[in-house]
Structure 1
């Protein structure tokens, strides 16, 4: 913290269809290219809010001249005001972290950054004594958040609470993106894998992601991508109509159920897939139960752990198991 210087089933397929997946987007459910950005929306998976553009920025710079405009905008969408100063590197770094967090809400919040070394009048309005200081505006009213750096997970919790407060006061709008963030460069092996996916080489992409994991076992992006590639491989070999017919004829056919769940996730019908497998977890035992559970957990990885449908299904799986 620094003192101020004085100056974010069947009816789904056409006859004869094999429901083939395309490499970079499994029929709208999996976006391997986008998952490398913070809080990436895996298409069929819901993001923290209703935005549709990957890499969109919801950040503006606020000065005394336009302060009133954003105060008025806070009657429709909460405006998070972050005061920083170039003379305080920690405040600058914290603002960048905060910007990523705000962007992940896809317009449910707007971030306004204020250079407190230049805009001292705004600092006085919020009675800020140091940087960083973060204050929200909701309905034109100030809501103090923090006056020092805090961990990102703690800041996200505060932003969640801010949205709850805003909703209670009828402030539930969505801001338009202020800019598109420049795409981040992928690690070489990840880019190699995506290039192979675009060329339709699923096995090559699998090999590249496996190599990335061998070099860095903690590479979560590579682990997620590998689960998505495995889904692509399974789906691309299926006759969708035949699989769905088999599952319809025998709901207890484990292999058919797993295949239909794959098709559903690849087609964006995530809840249908989870519902089918959760029912099987409840009605099977022994090795069959383990097989279904393992596939369900793998599909959780495909959809994304931040997706609320995954959170709900994960809780249901725990109750089904215990």
Structure 2
């Protein structure tokens, strides 16, 4: 098994918090202090919610492997599964971190990952889901899954017994990216746009800048829209602009396939300028996700079918 064998449903970075990288600096310092107090042994499990997901899971995964458990903590069967995962986490201390999310109280994370059933276990590495164990697996099945996963990622992970961060680190973020994310946190979208554009001028193929600008486009188009008014407008099949905005909102909420399917359907049933407007808008939404995202690939095929 190789890294390419694992599914990559798309970038989580930015889907939850566009300013996460800045927050991660403080989070990293807190984790290092906690590790020193505990003798350098990572905590067996980190409880994560919507607010802390970007720093505790996405950013942590940039330098180490995070296993994300999505569960309902009040369910007895799920609790037994959690205990098994904690046992495996203790055995593998230093190679990966277990992060736990209660989907009853943190629904946004489940929406981003498009989770249908819990408990579920996701492997998160470098900001993306790279493997998943849906449902409840036996201890033997989990050990086999973990063995294959660690083998596939061996060249990127610290050796057994070596704490994450002891090996090669992720290159520091470009100053323009940091400036853009700080501007987003401050609500200054113009400054964020300018920072991303400066980076693209210097590095035209920078993926982070392209994703950032596309995400800012989503924010600009939706920030002043009244959802109730949009819902009313959707009753008019001829209101193409309402369909485009609805797709924007669906993408922001994490319902990626619904957003893409909506616009493909508009392309199928329209012609002329309306069809071209929907097509161009859909292509713009593709830019908000990594090119290898399977939802993008699926939507591109559907778009080609609708056009030809």
Residue 252 of structure 1 corresponds to 238
CA contact (8 A) 1:209 1:226 kept: yes
Structure 2 CA distance, aligned partners of 1:29 and 1:265?
14
C-alpha change, 1:50 and 1:81, in structure 2 (3 Å) is closer
Structure 2 CA distance, aligned partners of 1:216 and 1:271?
30
Deviation of 1:182 (Å): 5.7
TM-score (norm 2): 0.53
Bigger relative contact order (CA 8 A; separation at least 6): 1
Write out per-residue CA displacement over residues 195-241 of structure 1, whole angstroms, 9 at most, x where no aligned residue.
Answer: 10111111110111111111222222211211111111111121122
Structure 1 CA distance, aligned partners of 2:281 and 2:17?
17
CA contact (8 A) 1:257 1:276 kept: yes
Residue 269 of structure 1 corresponds to 255
Unaligned runs of 5+ in 1: 1-7, 9-23, 59-71, 83-94, 100-110, 115-177
Write out per-residue CA displacement over residues 251-309 of structure 1, whole angstroms, 9 at most, x where no aligned residue.
Answer: 23111110111111111121221111010111111222111111111111113323222
> Matches of residues 210-221 of structure 1 in structure 2 within 5 Å?
210-221=197-208
> Matches of residues 91-240 of structure 1 in structure 2 within 5 Å?
98-99=155-156, 179=164, 184-240=171-227
1:51 to 123, 135, 142: 123
**Which secondary structure does the structure 2 equivalent of 1:306 belong to?**
coil
Report whether the alignment pairs 1:291 with 2:249.
no
C-alpha change, 1:79 and 1:308, in structure 2 (3 Å) is closer
In the TM superposition, structure 1's runs of 4+ consecutive aligned residues that sit over 4 Å from their partners are 29-38, 52-56, 79-82, 111-114, 178-184
Report whether the alignment pairs 1:305 with 2:288.
no
Structure 1 CA distance, aligned partners of 2:205 and 2:126?
24
CA contact (8 A) 1:193 1:208 kept: yes
Unaligned runs of 5+ in 2: 4-12, 22-53, 64-108, 115-120, 131-141
| RMSD (Å), alpha carbons | 4.3
**Which secondary structure does the structure 2 equivalent of 1:303 belong to?**
coil
Structure 1 CA distance, aligned partners of 2:180 and 2:200?
12
Residue 8 of structure 2 corresponds to none
**Which secondary structure does the structure 1 equivalent of 2:238 belong to?**
coil
**Which secondary structure does the structure 1 equivalent of 2:122 belong to?**
coil
Deviation of 1:50 (Å): 2.5
Deviation of 1:51 (Å): 3.0
Structure 1 CA distance, aligned partners of 2:202 and 2:144?
47
Residue-pair matches, total: 199
Report whether the alignment pairs 1:78 with 2:151.
no
Structure 2 CA distance, aligned partners of 1:25 and 1:54?
13
Deviation of 1:242 (Å): 0.7
C-alpha change, 1:52 and 1:312, in structure 2 (3 Å) is same
Structure 2 CA distance, aligned partners of 1:238 and 1:196?
22
Structure 2 CA distance, aligned partners of 1:76 and 1:192?
38
CA contact (8 A) 1:278 1:316 kept: yes
**Which secondary structure does the structure 2 equivalent of 1:213 belong to?**
helix
- Which structure has the bigger radius of gyration? 1
Which has more helix, going by share of residues? 2
